[in-house]
Amino acid sequence: MADYWLASGHLFCDPTPEGRLLATPALWRAFLARPELVPPEEACAAERRLHASLLSEPLRPVATAEIAALEDADARENFGVFLRFRDQVAAAPSLEAAWLALYSGDVRGVPPIFLQMLTHLVAYAAMLGEDDAFAWRAAECLFRTQRAAIHQGALLLADEEVVDARAADGDLGALGRLLTEAGAPPPTVELEVLSETNAETYPGRSDAHDLALDIAENRPGQRGLARALERFIGHVLGETVTITAVPVIADAPWILGLDTEATRIGNALWRGEEVAQAELARILWLGELRFAEESRVLPRVKGRAVVLALAMDQAQRVRLKPQNLVGGLPLLAKGEGA
């Protein structure tokens, strides 16, 4: 099977017999290579010693006095944040368990880039064994912000970082203009759309994030997003589900927004409020989720589908929040009877 997402750092992890991931010292060295932690030229000797010692022994205990000895306040904060994150993740039985623990608690104070890196790894483990390029490309939405556009009947998602980089280089095109931020000058960026024709090239370019995904109705990308979510929920939450992409909401005993905008709109619909057509038009994708095993499903949802919704904001950005799945699905607490 082709390998994907080498940049995730999954080669720096060890698999458990259950298919989970364990961090190795090499993974923590990758975190220590972040520019926030690499000592600049003007760094004090204590900061350089601390960084070098952690590169040599990434999991070694660090005394409070070692952090206090750093002259630069930002360095003290950055190393303190990193060490708290490292210790919390290392204490968990797997990266997946650490991800769940973080998002079941309070992630304030944890740098978004650390959470993104961790989600990238967890998503990789969830997708391992999948051979559908559209599902893999859709799974990128779990950890990378997208820019949305409607173009010639397609509903496209393109990686925001790639769009912005190409726009800065003046290398966009007609499609790229649609994907730039509303009101921005129209540079010219050409982006390729993932299709049946070029799907075989995805593994080799999966780290480039340079293929747009069409999630319009009845397109492979629409089904790919459903598949990616199925695998993520099954792997991280241990719930086997079937998700079917749908064009409209027919029955909604439970609406789960996969992002801030979809949550806001879904809550308004749930409360029976009038929602403007312009707001509804921000919803890009809908799915119906059904549980294979309903013993833990809330009684009022049993036998019915949970509606999942994904939306874009006013700037056409799509920020899928997989953490919404942690407490957002209609499940009883483990050990709680129906």
Q: Is residue 336 part of a domain?
A: no
Between 39-53, 218-232, 261-275, the lowest mean confidence (pLDDT) is in: 261-275
Long-range contacts of 320-324 (CB under 8 A, 24+ apart): 320/141, 320/142, 320/146, 320/258, 320/259, 321/258, 321/259, 321/260, 322/119, 322/123, 322/142, 322/143, 322/232, 322/236, 322/258, 323/103, 323/107, 324/256, 324/257, 324/258, 324/259, 324/263
pLDDT at 186: 45
For residue 169, is pLDDT > 80? no
Phi and psi at residue 247, in whole multiples of 5°?
-80, -30
- What's the CA gap between 53 and 60, in Å, rounded? 8
By C-alpha distance, which of 198, 158, 199, 136 is closest to 4? 136
Provide the residue range defining the domain that includes 27: 6-127
Q: Of the residues 214, 244, 265, which one is the last residue of a structural domain?
A: 214
Please state the rounded mean pLDDT for residues 176-189: 50
Within a domain: 286: yes
In the listed set 127, 148, 183, which residue is the last one of a domain according to the structure? 127
Cα separation, 160 vs 207, whole angstroms? 14
**Residue of 189 and 225 predicted with greater confidence:** 225
Residue 187 is predicted with a pLDDT of 47
Residue 335 lies in a domain: no
Is residue 179 pLDDT above 70, yes or no? no
The reply to whether 334 falls in a domain is no
Residue 11 pLDDT exceeds 70: yes
Do residue 43 and residue 93 come from a single domain? yes
Q: How far is CA 85 from CA 58, 99, 107, 276, in A?
A: 13, 11, 10, 42
Q: How many domains does the chain have?
A: 3
Per-residue pLDDT, 2? 65
In a domain, 106, yes or no: yes
CA dist 171 and 157 (Å) reads 18
Q: What pLDDT digit, counting tens, does each position of 60-99 carry?
A: 999 999 999 999 999 999 999 999 999 999 999 999 999 9
Q: What is the residue type of 80?
A: G
In-domain check, residue 337: no
Amino acid 180: pLDDT: 54
| pLDDT, mean of residues 269-292 | 92
pLDDT band (50, 70, 90) for residue 185: very low
Structure confidence at residue 40 as a pLDDT band (50, 70, 90): very high
What average pLDDT does this structure show over 290-304? Answer: 93
Task: Report pLDDT for 178.
Answer: 56
Which of 214, 248, 264 is the last residue before a domain boundary? 214
